[in-house]
Structure 1
Amino acid sequence: MLKFSANLSLLFTEVPLIERFKLAKQYGFTAVEIQFPYCINANLLRDVMEDNDLQLVLFNVDADDLLQGGEGLACVPGKRQQFQRAVDIASHYADILKPTAINVLPGRCSEPAHYLTYVDTFKDNLLFATQAFTVLGIQTVFEAINTIDMPGFIISNGEHMLSILNALKQPTLLMQYDIYHLHKMGEDVNRFISAYADKIGHIQFADCPGRGQPGTGNINFEGVFTTISTSTYKGWVGAEYNPVGTTAKSLHWLTHL
Structure 2
Amino acid sequence: MPRFAANLSMMYNEHAFLDRFAAAARDGFEAVEFLFPYEFPAADIKQRLDDNGLAQALFNAPPGDWAAGERGTASLPGREDEFRRSIETALEYARVLGNDKLHVMAGLIKPEQSRAAHREVYLKNLAYAAQAAQADGITVVIEPINTRDIPGFFLNRQDDAQAICAEVGAPNLKVQFDLYHCQIVEGDLAVKLKRDIKGIGHIQIAGVPERHEPDLGEVNYPYLFSLIDALGYDGWVGCEYRPRAGTSEGLGWIRPYLKARS
**TM, length-normalised to structure 1:** 0.96
**2:219 maps to amino acid:** I
Q: Structure 1 residue 252 and structure 2 residue 229: aligned?
A: no
Separation (CA, whole Å) in 1 of partners of 2:109 and 2:133:
26
Moved more, 109-118 or 80-89: 109-118
Separation (CA, whole Å) in 2 of partners of 1:152 and 1:116:
15
2:60/2:105 contact within 8 Å kept: yes
Please state whether the residue corresponding to 1:130 is helix, strand or coil. helix
**2:215 maps to amino acid:** G
2:71/2:106 contact within 8 Å kept: no
**2:56 maps to amino acid:** L
2:103/2:141 contact within 8 Å kept: yes
2:75/2:106 contact within 8 Å kept: yes
Separation (CA, whole Å) in 2 of partners of 1:112 and 1:105:
21
1:65/1:73 contact within 8 Å kept: no
Instruction: Kindly state the Cα deviation for residue 111 of structure 1 after the two structures are TM-superposed.
Output: 3.3
Name stretches of at least 5 consecutive residues in structure 2 with no aligned partner: 258-262
**2:184 maps to amino acid:** K
Moved more, 88-97 or 61-70: 61-70
Separation (CA, whole Å) in 2 of partners of 1:74 and 1:95:
21
Instruction: Tell me: CA distance 1:195–1:28, structure 2 relative to 1, closer, same or farther (3 Å).
Output: same
Please state whether the residue corresponding to 2:176 is helix, strand or coil. strand
Taking only aligned residues, the RMSD between alpha carbons, in angstroms, comes to: 1.3
**Number of matched residues?**
257
Please state whether the residue corresponding to 2:152 is helix, strand or coil. coil
1:132-151 superposed matches below 5 A? 132-151=132-151
Instruction: Kindly state the Cα deviation for residue 67 of structure 1 after the two structures are TM-superposed.
Output: 6.6
Separation (CA, whole Å) in 1 of partners of 2:5 and 2:148:
26
Identity score, percent: 34
1:175-254 superposed matches below 5 A? 175-254=175-254
Separation (CA, whole Å) in 2 of partners of 1:254 and 1:126:
34
Deviations 1:145-204 (A, max 9, x none): 011221221111110011101101111111100000000012311111122212111000
Separation (CA, whole Å) in 1 of partners of 2:186 and 2:67:
23
**Where do 4+ consecutive residues of structure 1 move more than 2 Å?**
65-72
**TM, length-normalised to structure 2:** 0.94
Instruction: Tell me: CA distance 1:147–1:164, structure 2 relative to 1, closer, same or farther (3 Å).
Output: same
Q: Tell me what 1:95 maps to.
A: 95
Deviations 1:30-54 (A, max 9, x none): 1111110111100111111111111
